[in-house]
Structure 1
Amino acid sequence: MSPPTRAALYSETDRFRHQFNEHVTRRFDVAVDELTSQAQVYNLLSSTNSDVKKTPILLFVHTQTYNTSFFEELFSLKDTTDALKTPIIIWSDRLNRAEISALYRLGATSVIHQDAQTNSLAKTLSDMGEYWFRSVILPRPGFRG
């Protein structure tokens, strides 16, 4: 049996983290590293960790506000060799069109609008999990091609 897909989640709210775990982590074969600070996100992308099996192949960022310095730093780190291959999926319910465009210019793989209603969030998370963990062919842990 192959090891689970590794992903990392940085969320500004416990509610989103709980919903993500309920509708993604438990439903799909995913090992999720929960990051609790922006510093941990930076460390994840900037590390030259020799244990590539622990390097996540997807990074989910849930944010309630557009923080220019955080996103500029995040995507500048994505330009490093290993991090370049890490898709970054941004979730928010408060970004305007200009901020969404800026995220794509910086290098976001996807920007997903998060509806504040719990039932809608659960469905969106399930759909996202189906897409990323069942439809998309992701490299297995340890592959950095």
Structure 2
Amino acid sequence: MYLVDDDEEDAFLFEMAIHEIIPYCRLRIFYNGLILLEVLADPAAKPHLIFLDMHMPYPDGLEVLMNLKINRQWADIPVIMLTGVDDTDKISLAYQLGAQSVINKPDSHSKLLDIVMNIREYWFKTVRLPGHASLE
């Protein structure tokens, strides 16, 4: 899994929650969407799932999402958008651009753990991800 978030503290908290709830998961963190797109140029770097912060400096999460979804090589990677702002227009646009989910960033560690548990149950146990065998 990849996480793209310009906020180092949010990224650290998310990483700790992932390691606590999904200990077998390898999480790679990017603090800028351009770096993510550069890394994805290598076909071997394709992740199972991308968590993408919606509100970042250039390029913002929606621009990165658009780049992911228009590229045939990356279009099938599920993208979960993370947001700390209740902007219904941007949330709607995220879905129009191909995001699989939009999740509000939680305001407590216990809520973050709940979100990660739900992610584990749905994305790692329930659905089949494109091009990958079951993750459990």
Task: Give the structure-2-normalised TM-score.
Answer: 0.78
1:114 alignment partner, one of 101, 105, 122: 105
Summarize deviations over 1:6-57 as a string: whole Å, max 9, x none.
x111112223222222222343232112112121122244x1x24x3x3212
Runs of 4+ in 1 over 4 A off after TM superposition: 66-69
Unaligned runs of 5+ in 2: none
Q: What secondary structure does 1:78 align onto?
A: helix
Distance 1:67 1:14 in 2: 13
Structure number having the greater strand percentage: 1
1:19 maps to which of 10, 13, 33: 13
Shift of 1:134: 2.1
* Structure 2 counterpart of 1:3: none
Relative CO higher for 1 or 2, CA cutoff 8 Å, sep ≥ 6? 1
Distance 1:124 1:140, change over 3 A: same
| TM-score for both structures, normalised by structure 1 | 0.74
Query: Structure 1 pair 11/76, CA: closer, same or farther in 2 (3 Å)?
Result: closer
- Cα distance, 1:68 vs structure 2: 8.5
Q: Where do 1:44-123 residues align within 5 Å?
A: 44-45=39-40, 47=41, 49-50=42-43, 52=44, 54-63=45-54, 65=55, 70=60, 71-123=62-114
Q: Tell which structure's C-alpha radius of gyration is larger.
A: 1
Identity, % of aligned positions: 22
